[in-house]
């Protein structure tokens, strides 16, 4: 089991315990914002579980039906997480807004403590997940980290709303309930961003210009490479597959051209850790003089 999978399992356990604690505290302490934050943490359990399954599938080697590997399962998981968060956010916001009229007495003071514990725990998970997501280029783990970051923000929102109600319950009795509504809105905004990022990967969106220039520069480091005509890249899970049109001397043999292409492929894969494989097309260098013009 690799580190990313262990992180997903730990995240499920932590989020499950936090969800149980906050939902219980929100119910017993009559705090809608705490309960809403608890349901958001419950959604995190599903998200982390989906990330774990996606990482297991993405780790499978290529086969006859999936020559580019199974990495897209990881990107697809990021999209599903976003869709699930959207549904959860809508339900939380709906309950917070339309249930505000039923409030008759303020929540308990001790309901603040589960929020403080949750914020601290989520801060640790965000730091660990983002560091690992950047290291392996995982969209699903990045989406899960963003989900935990939003859980922190929703925790601060719930904490502020609950504190306002406890400070002056006569004036701000419904602030705690509207805090739950704001938590729902935060989850909705996050879900849209997560689905957008995952959709860009599923649509084979090219990496940033600087990343593409890096591939070109590394290819030109190989001896006898005269130029790079075209360079494309698409993400298939954790890393990128590159299509490279390489320019070489038109008068060398096919065997020599193939050897140069293989050296370029190995050099790029060895030097750029986010590149999975390179398909090299060999083209004649247009600047080379034709045989008729040579002396």
Provide the pLDDT for residue 147. 72
CA angle 52, 186, 205 (to 5 degrees): 55
Q: Which of 179, 202, 225 represents a domain boundary (last residue)?
A: 202
Are 97 and 127 found together in one domain? yes
Provide the pLDDT for residue 40. 75
* pLDDT at residue 120 greater than cutoff 70: yes
Q: Which of 176, 202, 228 represents a domain boundary (last residue)?
A: 202
Are 198 and 214 found together in one domain? no
First to last CA, the chain: 64
Cβ proximity of 92 and 180 under 8 Å: yes
Are 226 and 169 found together in one domain? no
Are 71 and 141 found together in one domain? yes
Q: How does the average pLDDT of the chain come out, rounded? A: 81
pTM: 0.62
Q: Which of 202, 218, 245 represents a domain boundary (last residue)?
A: 202
Average pLDDT over residues 110-133: 86
Q: Considering the chain, what percentage of its residues have pLDDT values greater than 90?
A: 19
Burial class (CB in 10 A: 0-12, 13-18, 19+), 199: middle
Are 223 and 89 found together in one domain? no
Instruction: Sort strands 227-235 and 240-248 into parallel, antiparallel or unpaired.
Output: antiparallel
Q: How confident is the model at residue 281 (pLDDT cuts 50, 70, 90)?
A: very high
Are 215 and 177 found together in one domain? no
Alpha carbon 216 to chain centroid, angstroms: 27
Average pLDDT over residues 173-195: 79
Are 100 and 13 found together in one domain? yes
Provide the pLDDT for residue 295. 45
Name the packing angle between helices 72-98 and 175-202 (round to 10°). Answer: 160
Are 70 and 169 found together in one domain? yes
Are 179 and 250 found together in one domain? no
Domain extent at residue 93: 3-202
What digits encode the pLDDT tens for the residues 130-141?
888 877 767 667
CATH number of the CATH domain containing 286 = 3.30.70.1350
CA distance 23 to 130: 27
Burial class (CB in 10 A: 0-12, 13-18, 19+), 291: exposed
Cα-only R_g, the chain: 26
Are 249 and 192 found together in one domain? no
Count up the domains in the chain and report the number.
Answer: 2
* pLDDT at residue 179 greater than cutoff 60: yes
* pLDDT at residue 29 greater than cutoff 90: no
């Amino acid at each position: 089991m690799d580190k990313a999978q262990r992180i997903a399992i730990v995240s499920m356990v932590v989020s499950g315990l936090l969800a149980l604690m906050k939902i219980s505290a929100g119910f017993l302490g009559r705090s809608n914002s705490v309960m809403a934050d608890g349901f958001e943490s419950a959604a995190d359990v599903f998200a982390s579980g989906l990330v774990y399954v996606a990482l297991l599938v993405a780790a499978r080697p290529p086969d006859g039906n999936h020559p580019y590997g199974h990495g897209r399962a990881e990107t697809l998981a990021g999209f599903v997480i976003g869709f699930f968060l959207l549904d959860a956010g809508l339900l939380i916001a709906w309950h917070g807004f339309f249930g505000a009229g039923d409030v008759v007495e303020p929540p308990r003071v001790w309901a603040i403590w589960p929020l403080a514990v949750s914020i601290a725990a989520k801060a640790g998970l965000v730091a660990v997940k983002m560091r690992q997501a950047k290291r392996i280029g995982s969209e699903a783990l990045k989406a899960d980290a963003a989900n935990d970051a939003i859980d922190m923000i929703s925790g601060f929102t719930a904490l502020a709303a609950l504190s306002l109600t406890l400070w002056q319950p006569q004036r701000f009795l419904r602030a705690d309930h509207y805090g739950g509504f704001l938590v729902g809105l935060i989850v909705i905004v996050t879900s849209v961003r997560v689905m957008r990022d995952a959709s860009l990967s599923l649509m084979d969106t090219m990496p940033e210009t600087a990343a593409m220039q890096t591939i070109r520069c590394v290819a030109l480091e190989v001896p006898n490479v005269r130029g790079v005509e075209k360079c494309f890249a698409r993400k298939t899970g954790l890393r990128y597959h590159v299509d490279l049109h390489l320019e070489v001397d038109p008068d060398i043999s096919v065997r020599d051209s193939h050897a140069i292409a293989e050296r370029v492929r190995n050099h790029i894969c060895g030097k750029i850790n986010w590149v999975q494989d390179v398909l090299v097309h060999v083209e004649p260098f247009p600047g080379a003089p034709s045989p008729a013009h040579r002396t």
